[in-house]
Structure 1
Amino acid sequence: MKRLFIVLSTLCLALGLAFNPFSSTQKSSANTEGAVIDSKLQGLLQDRLTPIEVIITFKDSGDPDAGSLQLLESLGITNAVLFQSLPIAGALLTPAQIDKLADSQDVLSIYYNAPLQYENESSTSLTGVDQVREDADFQAANGGLPITGENIGVVVNDSGVDGTHKDHELGKNLVQNVMANINLNSTIGLAPVAYLENVPNTDSTSGHGTHVTGIVGGTGAMSGGKYEGVAPGANLIGYGSGAAIAIMDTIGGFDYALTHQTEYNIRVITNSWGDTSDSDTDFDPHHPINIATKKLYDRGITTVFSAGNAGPGASTISGNYKKAPWVVTVAAGNSAMELADFSSRGVEGKGGTVVIDGDTFIWSDRPTITAPGVDIVSTRVFTPLSALSLETDASGISPAHLPYYTTFSGTSMAAPHAAGIIALMLEVDPALSPAEIKDLLQQTATPMPDYGTSEVGAGYVNAYEAITAIKADNLAATKKASKK
C-alpha cells in the first residue's frame, strides 16, 4: 500500500509539473531563482551587446503600481510603456538591465517582443522580408533596430499618392508629394516643366499609385502594422501624373528624381506602367525612357519596372525599356510562389549587346525577377476604381480595415515589392550600385524550376538571402582590408 501511494504521488507530481506553466523547465513561480526568461529571448541574449525589445510581467495581480515604477527606475530604466489594467510593461533594454530585472523578486517573467505574422498577409513572408526584420544578428548590426529602408528615398512614378492616409502621410514618411501633368497641347513658350509640390492628395482618380506606395513603404498605421509595406522606414516621394499618362509624363518623374536626388537621398524609382504596343520589340538604346533610366543608373538610382499584364503568351513584356540592361523588371507571382497567368513573358534566348558610352551591355527579353502580385492588400483611396475589388476585399479584409485598404493584382503590385527590398538592401550598404543590386537580386532569388528564365527571370525575389549576401561580402572585405 505504501508502495502504491509513492507511485501515485510520483504520478501526481509528474502530472502537476506537466500542466504547470512554471514547471521545472523554467524558473520557479516562487521566483526563488529570479524571473522566467523565455527561450527565444535567451537565444537572442547570447553575445548580445545592444538593447532589445522585451515585455516585463510583474508579480502584481492588478494594475502596475508605484513599486513597479520604482523598480524600473532603480535599475536605470527610464523609458517604458505600461498598461493601465495589466501588470505588464514593455521596454528597450540592454542585456545587463535584463539580468538585473531577472534577479528581482517582483518580476514574474521577461519575454522577447517577437514580431507576429498573419497567415493571410503573406507577401513579406514570401519574399524573406519578415526574416530580415526578425533576424537578431541583422538587428544587432543595425543598432538593435530592424532593417526598414531607413532614409532611403524611393520615388513612386505613378498616378499619384493619397498623402492624407496615415500609412504614408505627407510630412512624415511621405516626404514629398508632387502633382504633375505635362500637357503639350497647352504649353506656351519655352517653359520649364511645371509641377506642384507638397500636395496632400495627388491620387483622386484611380487609387493605383496609392496602392503601390503602400506596398513600398506603408507603415501599417491604420491596421496596427498588419498591412505594413516592405520598407516602412523609407523616404517616399510621390510623383503623380494622373490616371492618363504619356511618355512625357513618366519622364517627368525621372527628371524629378535626378533634380532632387540629393535633397531626398533618392536611390530607387518604381514604375508600374507600360505600353502593350511596344511588346514584341528589341531594346532600343535611343528611346527617351532608356536614355532617362541610363542617366539614373549613372547617378546610382535603380529603376524598377513592372513586366506587364499581357500574359501568359510569350513576347508580351510591355515596353522595350523594360529590357534595358540597367533596370530591374518584375514579373508577378502568387502566394504559392507560382507565376501568375497574367504576368507578361519574354522570349527565351532573345537578346543582344549594345555599346553605350564605350561600355558594352547585354540585354535580354525577360523579367529580372518575380515578386508577389496576386491579391495584394495595400492602402486605398475612395475612388471608382476601388469598387473593382469589393468582392475580394470583403472576403479577405476585416470590416474595420476596409475603409483604409483594398486588394489589387498585377505586376503593378510586384514592382513596388522589389523597390522596397532594394531600399532595405541600400540601408545595409548605401554604396551598392544599380548593377550590383541587380546582380544580387538575381543571384539570391529562389529558383522557380517549373518556369523558363524568359517567364520568371532568376526566380522569386528573396530579401533575406540578398541582405545575407551583402553582409557576408562586407565582412569579407573588412577582413581583407584589415590584413593589409
Structure 2
Amino acid sequence: MKLKTAFFSFILMASMIYTTIVPATNTKANEPAKAVVDSALTHNLLTAIGPVEAIVTFKSKEGVQPEQLKLLENLGITKGLTLNELPIAGVLATKSQIDQLAQSDQVVSIYLNKKLQYENAEATDITGVDQVRTDDAMRKLNGGLPVTGKGIGVVINDSGVDGTHKDLEYGSHLVQNVLGATNLHAVDSLLPITYIENVPNTDTSSGHGTHVAGIVGGTGAMSGGKYEGVAPGANLIGYGSGAAIAMLDTIGGFEYALTHQQQYNIRVITNSWGDTSDAGTDFDPYNPINIATKKLYDRGIVTVFSAGNSGPDAKTISGNYKKAPWVVTVAAGDKSGKLADFSSRGEEGRGGTVTVDGQTWKWDDQPTVTSPGVDIISTRVISPIPLLGATDDAQYIEPAYIPYYTTMSGTSMAAPHVAGIIALMLEANPLLSPSEVKLILEQTATAMPDYAAWEVGAGYVNAYKAVDAAFNLKD
C-alpha cells in the first residue's frame, strides 16, 4: 500500500515538473492579444441576414461584470443571457456588433453557438463493477459498507432525466432535476440565466439522458438490482437541454455545476454530446467550453466526455474540447475488451502545449481511456415508451423488464460508465483532485496491445484497480 502511494506521488510530481519546464507554443489562453473570433462564426456571418447566436467570453474571474453588460448594451445588443460563475454571455448580435465587440479589451473570444449532437449509435448490454462491491477488504476500508459512490454528486449534462423511473427516483436518488432554458430567441432583454428546478421528468422527447443516468447510478429497483448502474449510491443531478442541443445549453450545465457545487457535493459532470464538424482540430484554449471545464477543474470537478461515434477513421474525436488536458475523454469498447468500430479515434503524434492561467499544459489528440459502450442495458423513459433499441431489447432483456430498460450503443454509454467509476473513486478518497483521478484511471487501465494510444488512450478502464488505488492514496 505504501509502495503504491509512493508510486503515484512520483508520477504526479513528474507530471507537475513536466508542465513547468515544457516551453509554451501558444499565448496565454485567458489573455489573448485581441479577441479571438471563431472561424465558424465568421463564415456564418457572411450569409446571415439578421442577428446570429454568439457566445461572448469576457476577461473576468467571477461571471459577467456590470461594465461588460454595459458594453453589450452600448453596442445595441439587447437580447441574451449572462452566466453567474462563468464570464460568458449568449447574445443575438449582428456582424457589425460582433466586429465592434472584437475590438474591446474586455473580450477574450466570440464563438458561434453551434448545434451539437448526442453521441449514441445503434442499440445494445453492460459489464459491471461487481468486484468493487463484493470485495471484503474494500468494504472494510469503506467503513463496513460496499463502495457505491455514496454522497458524490454527479451532473448528467444531457437531454434530461426521467425521474418518474423508480431506478432514478426524483427527490431521493435524483436529488435535483433541472430544465435548462437558453433559447436566445425567446428572450427580450439581457438577463441572467435562469433554471427551472424540481422537474420530475425533463426527458420527454429523447430518452438519451435517462439511459445515461441509469448507467452512472441507476439503483436497479425495477429489476431486483439486475440492471444496477455503476454508482447506485451517487446523488444524481439532471441538467436537461431537450432533444436539440447547442453549445450554450451545455455551458449552462457547467454553470449549474459551479453554482450548486456545495449544495449537492458535485464532483463529476458527464457529457455525451459533441460536434463532428470540430473533429481533427487542435485544442483551442479560447473555446468557451474549454474555459468552462478549466474552471470546473480548478474547483475540483471532473469533466467526462464521450469521444464520438465517427470511427474507425483517425482524426474523428468530436470536439477540440475533448482534448483538454484537464478532462477525461472516453472511447467505447465491447465486452471482449476490443475497441468498437464506431468509436472515434485521435491522430498519431498530434498534440502540443498551451499556457493557461500561467501553467503550461500538454494536450494529446487521443481518448483518456476506453470503457464499455456496446450492448448497454440501462433505464428507458417510462412514457411514452420509445422504440430505441427495440430489436436488441428482445434479444438481451427479459420481457418483464422491457417496459423499464432498453439497449443502446455508443460512446454516449461509455462516458457515464467512467463517470460512475470516478464517483466510486471519490467515495473511496474524497480528497482526490481531478488530476489525480485522471492519472489513476490511466495508470490502472488494462493495456489493449492491439491498439495505439491515439485510438484507445491508456487502455480499458479497470474499476477495481482504480478504486483500490484511490483507497491507497489515502495513506
Q: Secondary structure at the match of 2:251?
A: helix
Counterpart position of 2:359 = 359
1:234 aligns with 2:224: no
Post-superposition Cα deviations, 1:268-294, rounded to whole Å, max 9, x if no partner, equal: 000000000000100000000000000
In the alignment, what sits opposite 1:343?
A: 343
* Equivalent in the alignment of 1:311: 311
Following superposition, the deviation at residue 472 of structure 1 comes to: 2.5
Correspondences of 1:269-288 after superposition (within 5 Å): 269-288=269-288
2:254 alignment partner in structure 1: 254
Question: In the TM superposition, what are the counterparts of 1:27-426 in structure 2 within 5 Å?
Answer: 122-124=126-128, 129-382=129-382, 386-426=386-426
Q: How far does the alpha carbon of each residue in 1:113-143 deviate from its partner, in whole angstroms, 9 at most, with x for none?
A: xxxxxxx96511xxxx211111101101212
Q: Determine if contact 1:333/1:373 at 8 Å carries over to the other structure.
A: yes
Percent pairwise identity: 71
2:464 aligned with 1:464: yes
1:339 alignment partner AA: L
Relative distance call for 1:316 and 1:122 in structure 2 (3 A) is: closer
For 2:285 and 2:404, how far apart are their aligned partners in 1? 41
- Give 1:439 shift: 0.4
TM superposition shift of 1:383 = 6.4
SS at match of 2:471: helix
Cα distance change of structure 1 residues 357 and 433 upon mapping to structure 2, 3 Å threshold: same
Greater Cα radius of gyration, structure 1 or 2: 1
Whole-Å separation in 2 of the counterparts to 1:443 and 1:228 = 27
Give distance in 2, aligned partners of 1:382 and 1:197: 20
Deviation at 1:473, TM superposition (A): 2.9
Structure 1 stretches lacking a partner, 5+ long? 1-119, 476-484
Q: What is the 5 A alignment of 1:13-28?
A: none
The amino acid of 1:348's aligned partner reads E
Question: Following the alignment from structure 1 to structure 2, what is the Cα–Cα distance between the partners of residues 323 and 265?
Answer: 26
User: TM-score scaled to structure 2, two decimals?
Assistant: 0.73
SS in structure 2 at match of 1:239: strand
1:328 maps to a residue whose letter is V
Secondary structure in 2 aligned to 1:386? coil
SS of alignment partner, residue 206 of structure 1: coil
CA deviations on 1:209-235 (whole Å, 9 max, x unpaired) are 000000000000000000000000000
Name the CA shift for 1:242/1:406 in 2 (closer, same or farther; >3 Å).
same
For residues 474 and 201 of structure 2, the distance between their equivalents in structure 1, rounded to whole angstroms, comes to 41
Name the CA distance, whole Å, in 2 between partners of 1:437 and 1:349: 24
Contact 1:386 1:406 in 2 (8 A): no
Note if contact 2:446-2:462 (Cα within 8 Å) is conserved in structure 1.
yes
Question: Whole-Å Cα distance in 2 between the matches of residues 203 and 310 of structure 1?
Answer: 25
Give the letter for the 1:123 counterpart.
T
State the alpha-carbon separation in 1 of the partners of residues 383 and 460 from structure 2: 32
Instruction: Report if aligned partners of 2:161, 2:201 keep a CA contact under 8 Å in 1.
Output: yes
Quote the RMSD (CA, aligned, Å). 1.2
Q: Compared with structure 1, are the counterparts of its residues 121 and 249 closer, same or farther at alpha carbon in structure 2 (3 Å cutoff)?
A: closer
What is the Cα deviation at residue 241 of structure 1?
A: 0.4
Q: Distance in 2 between matches of 1:306 and 1:384?
A: 27
Q: CA deviation at 1:330?
A: 0.1
TM-score, reference length from structure 1? 0.72
Counterpart secondary structure, 1:447: coil
CA contact (8 A) 1:181 1:242 kept: no
Q: Look up the SS of the partner of 1:400 in the other structure.
A: helix
Q: Distance in 1 between matches of 2:343 and 2:126?
A: 19
Give, as a single letter, the amino acid of the residue that structure 1 aligns with 2:321. Answer: Y
Identify which of structures 1 and 2 has the higher relative contact order when contacts are C-alpha pairs closer than 8 Å and 6+ apart.
2
Q: Is residue 385–residue 403 contact of structure 2 (8 Å, CA) maintained in 1?
A: no
Displacement after TM superposition at 1:433 (Å): 0.5
User: Matched residues in 1 for 2:296 and 2:217: separation?
Assistant: 21
Query: How many Å apart are 1:189 and its aligned residue?
Result: 1.3
Displacement of 1:194 in angstroms is 1.9
Q: Give structure 1 regions of 4+ aligned residues with deviation exceeding 6 angstroms.
A: none
Displacement after TM superposition at 1:386 (Å):
3.2
Which residue of the partner structure matches residue 18 of structure 2? none
Q: Cα offset for 1:470?
A: 2.2
Residue 195 of structure 1, CA deviation: 1.7
- Displacement after TM superposition at 1:467 (Å): 1.6
Please give the per-residue CA displacement for 1:137-172, whole angstroms capped at 9, x wherever unaligned.
Answer: 110121211000000000000000000000011011
